[in-house]
Amino acid sequence: MPITRAPGSRFIKDPRDVRLEDKIIKGGAKGDIGLLGVPWDGAVGGRPGARFAPSRVRSFLYSMPLNIDASIVDFGDVDVVLGDHGETMRRTREAASQALRQVKELLVIGGDNSVSHPVFQALNDAEKRVGYILIDAHPDIRTVTEGLTSGLAIRMIRETNPSMPITVVGYRPHSNPRYLIDEARRLNIRIITMDEVEEIGVMGTAAQLVEAYRGMQVYLSLDMDAVDPAFAPGVNSPSPGGFTSREAISLVSRLSRELRPRVFDVVEITPLVDVADQTSNLAAAVLMSAMWPRGDME
């Protein structure tokens, strides 16, 4: 009989090898870091399946070594209502609001990009001076005449807070209609293209963002299609020319260490089209890199 292994299990037992699953606190306790899943992909216009990402990403995250001194609370998944976008978003906002009252940093696993809006609403309700950074191949500010799309999440977030700084990092012209650049200017959204990232480097880009957002309560969001499909094939809208896995981890790690974001979300992972769980595994590694306070191993 073949031996199989779940991502969250271990063949060996080493009492000094502490994994995240060993330290998880379930339910309503207070802690340093919180986890919240939103298994919703009702706004996806492309490849569905993001609703399966929270459970898949968690399985990898739980198995990773925990090298930080922090208490971690898993709030579970939002109880989504299939076919009812409005009610699901209301429940997501409510769950995020409750979680933010209990932890210093909230990590959210989507779900499609539409889940970022209600989570941001919860942060905007709780904090005064907020800022938003989206790492994404697309600016998500489309205008649509009918239907739902996760491609307008940032437009909705801008409407929620018309004055805060918003930056999109990783934009690819070959993956977006031309009008979106003009629309971003109109909405006072800064666009940093992949060409600009390449010119000054990932750490140079991070340094600019740290300078611009220092002192704010930051919402940091990673749409996994910001990563090149060679490293993250399991996404809704793959776009060539993106970040490597190492660059994605480094960028999120630097921003988290310097800015200590109040919320970090990872969205648009589609396990059904992934290859050997590359994307879910990478998402878990990025989530781990976003956790603060940090220990000695980085």
Question: What residues does each domain of the chain span?
Answer: 20-290
Query: Could you tell me the CATH superfamily of domain 20-290?
Result: Ureohydrolase domain (3.40.800.10)
Helix orientation angle between 116-126 and 85-102, rounded to the nearest 10 degrees: 40
Rounded distance between C-alpha atoms, residue 153 and residue 189, angstroms: 13
Element housing 108 (H / E): strand 103-110
Strands 103-110 and 72-77: unpaired
Q: Which pLDDT does position 293 carry in this prediction?
A: 57
**pLDDT class for 134, splitting at 50, 70, 90?**
very high
Instruction: Check whether 126 has a pLDDT greater than 90.
Output: yes
Mean pLDDT over the full length of the chain:
91
Q: Which tens digits make up the pLDDT trace of 49-90?
A: 999 999 999 999 999 998 888 999 999 999 999 999 999 999
Q: Which pLDDT does position 294 carry in this prediction?
A: 46
Percentage of the residues of the chain whose pLDDT score is greater than 70 = 92
CA distances from 276 to 48, 109, 177, 242, 273 (A): 18, 19, 32, 20, 10
Rounded distance between C-alpha atoms, residue 203 and residue 225, angstroms: 20
**pLDDT class for 150, splitting at 50, 70, 90?**
low
* Residues forming a β-bridge with 109: 37, 266
Instruction: Check whether 298 has a pLDDT greater than 90.
Output: no
**pLDDT class for 147, splitting at 50, 70, 90?**
low
Q: Are 151 and 139 in contact (CB under 8 A)?
A: no
Instruction: Check whether 296 has a pLDDT greater than 60.
Output: no
User: Residue range 236-247: average pLDDT?
Assistant: 96
Instruction: Check whether 172 has a pLDDT greater than 80.
Output: yes
Percentage of the residues of the chain whose pLDDT score is greater than 90 = 80
Rounded distance between C-alpha atoms, residue 245 and residue 286, angstroms: 9
**pLDDT class for 12, splitting at 50, 70, 90?**
low
CA distances from 164 to 131, 188, 258, 296 (A): 6, 9, 19, 34
